Structure 1
Amino acid sequence: MPITCTDIPKFICALLLPPIGVWMEKGCGADLIINIVLTILGFIPGVIHACFIICWY
C-alpha cells in the first residue's frame, strides 16, 4: 500500500502512543482493543502492531 501524507501524523502518534495511531486509522474496534492490550503488555509490540495497521489499511 502506498503511504500518503495523512499517514505521517499517524506514524508519529503510533511512535508516541500506539493506540492513538490505531484509533486515527481504524476508529474504535477490535484492532484498537488488541493494540491497547499489546501496549500494556509491552510498548514495542504495541508500536509494531500500530505501524502494521497503518501500513496495511
Structure 2
Amino acid sequence: MGILQTIVAILIPPLGVFWKKGLGFQFFLSILLTIAGYIPGLIYALYVVVLSGD
C-alpha cells in the first residue's frame, strides 16, 4: 500500500482499484459502486487498496 495509491483511491475510486488490481471484476464493481454513490465506491476502493494482499 502506498500513500499515492491511497490518495488516488480517495479522489477517484475506480482509478485506485484499477491501479491496484487491473482491468477486471473488481474494477467494474468499483465503477458501479461509484456511480451508485461516491461513498460506496470510496469504501470499496479503500478496502481493495489498503487491505489487499497483493
Name the residue aligned to 1:42: 37
**5+ long unaligned stretches in structure 2:** none
Percent of paired sites with the same residue: 40
If the length of structure 1 is used for normalisation, what is the TM-score?
0.85
* Structure-2-length-normalised TM-score: 0.89
Who is 2:7 aligned against?
Answer: 12
1:27 counterpart residue number = 22
Number of equivalences: 52
**Equivalent position SS for 2:23:** coil
**1:28 partner SS:** coil
- Runs of 4+ with deviation above 4 angstroms: none
Larger CA Rg, structure 1 vs 2? 1
RMSD after superposition: 0.9
